[in-house]
Chains A and B, each alone.
Chain A
Amino acid sequence: MDIIYNLFFYAIAFVLVIAALSVVFLPRIVYSAVSMILAFISVAGIFVLLNADFVAISQIMIYAVGITIIMIFAIMLTGRVSEKKLWIAFAPRTLFAFAIAGVFFVTILFTVTNGFKSLARESSIFSTTLPSIETIETLQTQGTTGIIGKALFTKYVLPFEILSLLLLAAILGAVVMAKKDRDNLINPTTRLIEED
């Protein structure tokens, strides 16, 4: 295809991999929270390259704003000076993790590069080329929001409702778990204040 698409893909992918690695390996947790924002925004760029505008905007709104703010809240609520420097684990666990991730990556790489090509040759289920130009042009002019909305409210209406129940249960559970228990407060002065 055109060279600009390839250039943008490789630039965004490079930034994404660097940001994800710095989430894992930066020594201070606040820096990795900030680089997590960069990783999520580059994932949104990947979605834009894949003609998915609605998913890209949702990615920025939910991940790069919402979840990052939740993480920064977690950092600030549990912060302590002596624990700001907690980094990676000790040697056996780290070696085990590198081995697991390496084996996993080699397996997926082998499957993707060989398996999909042979599968596409035999069954033509997975076409590894882009669809026609006209389809992409109509998608880019009309947007994907209409198609996603129709699918959400006709074919996937039951998972959608179950998902709303899940969100309600998650909000209630988070409030119940994070609420302070009134009966066994640790500090006796606050109990005295509350009795007054």
Chain B
Amino acid sequence: MNIEVILKIFNVGLTHYLILGAILFCIGILGLIISRNIIRVLMSIEILLCAININFVAFANYNDINNLQGQVFAIFIMAVAAAEAALGLAILLSLYRNKPTVDTEEMKELKG
């Protein structure tokens, strides 16, 4: 493989941003399932939303440079993420008041 092909592969384009978003999304899903602390689950959700935002802004830059609708949706997603974090903290606090633990293995009330 000659040097020009390698340079062309490593030249940053839309695909590189999408792959970065995919890596971040998979790290978020991994943390969502494997972590035993509820706060870390909330952090993983924020990482998932960041990955989505990277994809939106990348598509807005490479395909929709005149209207930038992807950036508008990134702003919307940020507002939804802020609301979600506040509600997550409130739910976490009321759960903690009933049962003082943050272990996900201990939360078995809804299992039936």
Chain A residues in the interface with B (C-beta under 8 A): 1, 5-6, 9-10, 13, 16-17, 20-21, 23-24, 29, 32-33, 36, 39-40, 43, 46-47, 50-52, 54-55, 58-59, 62-63, 66-67, 70-71, 73-75, 77-78, 80, 83, 86-90, 93-94, 96-98, 100-102, 104-105, 108-109, 112-113, 116, 125-131, 135-136, 139, 144, 147-148, 151-152, 156, 159, 163, 166-167, 170-171, 173-175, 177-178, 180
Closest-CB distance, A23 to chain B (whole angstroms): 6
Residue B2 CB within 8 A of the other chain: no
Once bound together, how far apart are the Cα atoms of A150 and B87, in whole Å? 30
Flag if A101 contacts B29 (CB, 8 Å): yes
Once bound together, how far apart are the Cα atoms of A101 and B26, in whole Å? 5
Flag if B102 contacts A108 (CB, 8 Å): no
Top 5 A-B residue pairs of the complex, sorted by shortest distance between their CB atoms: A97-B33, A24-B31, A170-B83, A174-B90, A108-B22
Chain B 15-51 per-residue mask, 1 if CB under 8 angstroms from chain A, else 0? 1111110111111111111111111101110110010
**Most chain-A Cβ atoms within 10 A of its Cβ — which of B16, B26, B32, B44?**
B26
Determine which of A33, A52, A71, A126 lies in contact with B57 in the assembled complex, contact meaning CB atoms within 8 Å.
A52
Once bound together, how far apart are the Cα atoms of A63 and B50, in whole Å? 9
Once bound together, how far apart are the Cα atoms of A55 and B73, in whole Å? 10
Determine which of B30, B40, B46, B91 lies in contact with A67 in the assembled complex, contact meaning CB atoms within 8 Å.
B46
**Most chain-B Cβ atoms within 10 A of its Cβ — which of A29, A50, A151, A156?**
A50
Closest-CB distance, A27 to chain B (whole angstroms): 10
Taking CB as reference atom, which chain A residue is nearest B74? Answer: A55
Instruction: Report whether over half of chain B's contact residues are helix, strand or loop; otherwise say mixed.
Output: helix
Taking CB as reference atom, which chain A residue is nearest B29? Answer: A101
Q: Which residues of B contact A94 (CB under 8 A)?
A: 33-34
Flag if B11 contacts A47 (CB, 8 Å): no
Flag if B17 contacts A70 (CB, 8 Å): no
Determine which of A43, A54, A166 lies in contact with B50 in the assembled complex, contact meaning CB atoms within 8 Å.
A43
Flag if B43 contacts A6 (CB, 8 Å): no
Query: With A62-B78, A97-B30, A174-B86 given, is the CB distance from A16 to B37 under 8 Å?
Result: no
Once bound together, how far apart are the Cα atoms of A65 and B15, in whole Å? 30
Once bound together, how far apart are the Cα atoms of A60 and B91, in whole Å? 25
